[in-house]
Chains A and B, each alone.
Chain A
């Protein structure tokens, strides 16, 4: 059976787009004297399409949790507006917005059973919205079944695993059929195996309910794997919004390029001269339409192709075998990464006795970034590198 989100029996499924307009949140500086204002979120504008799963991604302290709190209504923005559908909810208290919130540490009430925890939000309903006991039980059961914990209803949170607790927290957030489901680092407290399992679970639940979901994470792999769209933030400012693959393939700046992908992108100091890109003394690619000058060169691990006549030569350190592919670990004086990690085919033979390894570069995996602004510079690959 599908879990259908309806309200007041009007039959309409509730899908909500969320619009953020110029959202800004400033905090007064901590403790007395140095009253320095901290801008946690800076002019965040974004229209979240309904029924999608959005990953809000960024390093710790980049304002992603604050953004979530602004959407939930737990915090008031300094300026800017928030719309759910066509309704301006900026001034609304959290309970009138219809949001479900899931916390990193679950925040389940430890003294209540799973059933009581899930019932808790329903019991808060007053007046016209008040439900009969049977209806509450029915909805609680339905939510529990959605997250597959219906056989654990009488347990206390302390008697369950982290993954199960997180499911209960999601059920509790969903039981009031919210317009928007917000997840704050939902997987961070789980161990690696459970994390993988639970993120699939979140994706499934989201697809089954169709509820617009925004989830915050600092784990790029997590965000990439389940999100329909990812939003990369840094220091309160949105860097890039897009489909995960697109953001990975065309990062707008060096920060986004570095933040996405494991192993991370390898960054070299490079120079563009007369339509060609140089790393050190090696002329590695033809790069047309780029003004001459120094640039950052970002090369994805899968952008390296070992070849005897390769343009880029690096000092070989080791080759790590994972079975599925190989990781060539090398160094280069012009690379700001301590080690260059390049992922190559398992069939590729590399002589580990050699001291030098040479690579061809895949042009689509090479990104140039402006030396000062660190923004991406589009370039056209010359004839010689098109194959």
Chain B
């Protein structure tokens, strides 16, 4: 090996050690755990190697419920939140007075604690024997029937969950999109106006393609973020998510490790790798679609 090469490796060593210890080793470890059958946490022993952990996880109704919940949340919240954020950003970009005030207001959820927000949502939506909650009062005012959104039917809980998720992720998306919109040069719009381009066409043919890299970024990170959702669920439904039927994949992994039914790192690892496979697949699909749709 040449001397210069050696020097290069020397410089890389700290980073390599850091990455090795905190990234590569845990990854490999998870992979190994997921194939060790009957691993005992206390004695650190196992009696076999194979696919049993995967089989167990994939047949666990709690896991299947978690997968279903996660997919519902992802598929509902990512498109909706990105769409609404785009709509609000365009509105924000088109007003002059009070723009800064609105930007601040929209950004507040981002700096607010998840659990605090969850508590507020719970108070808004919960129905107890003593009170119906603000949302139910509104529903009843319009002649509807009160629903318990926190302990009630599945669709009601899912509605609250999605509502909450969208509300929480919105500020970041609005922040990104407003700055993306601001970076589109005024001259493009002037040129389009002189040519008599309709507002819709300007948006669809000029604005949207120009900010498409940012939208794409938001969709990808949105998907990944939503697949990893867990704390939001806890904030609203409490720690026993399985009982509430609102568990997510990450929640399931946590439960397998530390929950009441915990102590099974092998099951947790298998579930984690399944989640990884799902996220990986979705991201690849996203990238393939974006090749055709995103400019630059």
Interface set of A (CB-CB < 8 Å, partner B) = 72-74, 93-96, 99-101, 103, 105, 107, 109-111, 120-121, 124-125, 172, 176
Contact = CB atoms under 8 A, between A and B. Distances in A.
Nearest to B210: A111
A110 B187 CA distance: 12
Contacts of A101: 190-191, 194
Given A109-B206, A111-B209, A111-B210, A74 B193 contact: yes
A109 B190 CA distance: 12
Given A109-B206, A111-B210, A103 B191 contact: yes
Contacts of A100: 194
Nearest to A104: B187
Nearest to A101: B194
A139 to B, nearest CB: 14
Most buried by B among A74, A96, A105, A111: A111
8 contacts: A74-B193, A94-B194, A94-B196, A95-B197, A101-B191, A103-B187, A103-B191, A110-B296
B47 interface: no
A111 B201 CA distance: 15
Interface in B189-214: 190-198, 201, 205-206, 209-210, 212
4 shortest interchain CB distances as A-B pairs: A95-B196, A111-B295, A107-B187, A121-B195
Given A110-B295, A111-B210, A176 B190 contact: no
A125 B185 CA distance: 24
Contacts of A111: 209-210, 212, 295-296
A84 to B, nearest CB: 14
Contacts of B192: 120
B196 A124 contact: yes
A103 B209 CA distance: 21
Given A103-B187, A111-B295, 12 more contacts: A73-B194, A74-B194, A95-B197, A101-B194, A103-B191, A107-B185, A109-B209, A110-B295, A111-B296, A124-B198, A172-B191, A176-B195
> Which of under 10, 10 to 19, 20 to 34, or 35 or more describes the interface residues of B?
20 to 34
B188 interface: yes
A94 B209 CA distance: 24
A101 B206 CA distance: 17
Nearest to A106: B187
Interface in B59-98: none
A120 B295 contact: no
A244 to B, nearest CB: 28
A113 to B, nearest CB: 11
Nearest to A97: B194
A71 to B, nearest CB: 11
A109 B188 CA distance: 7
Contact of A95 (B194, B210, B296): B194
A125 B210 CA distance: 23
Interface string B82-126: 000000000000000000000000000000000000000000000
Interface string B272-283: 000000000000
Contact of A74 (B188, B190, B296): B190
Nearest to A107: B187
A172 B205 CA distance: 16
Nearest to A73: B194
Contacts of B209: 109, 111
A103 B195 contact: no
Interface in B179-237: 185, 187-188, 190-198, 201, 205-206, 209-210, 212
A180 B296 CA distance: 34
A105 B193 contact: no
A180 to B, nearest CB: 11
A95 B197 CA distance: 8
Contacts of B187: 103, 105, 107
A107 B201 contact: no
A99 B194 contact: yes
Contacts of B190: 74, 101, 103, 107
A110 B185 CA distance: 11
Contacts of B196: 93-96, 121, 124-125
B50 to A, nearest CB: 51
Contacts of A110: 210, 295-296
Contacts of A99: 194
Contacts of A96: 196
A239 B193 CA distance: 31
Nearest to B193: A94
Contacts of B194: 72-74, 94-95, 99-101
Contacts of B197: 95, 120, 124
Nearest to A176: B195
Contacts of A93: 196
B121 to A, nearest CB: 40
A188 to B, nearest CB: 13
A335 B233 CA distance: 82
Interface string B152-193: 000000000000000000000000000000000101101111
B203 to A, nearest CB: 13
B197 to A, nearest CB: 5
Most buried by A among B187, B197, B198, B295: B187
A101 to B, nearest CB: 5
A124 B201 contact: yes
Contacts of B205: 109, 120
A120 B195 contact: yes
Contacts of A121: 195-196
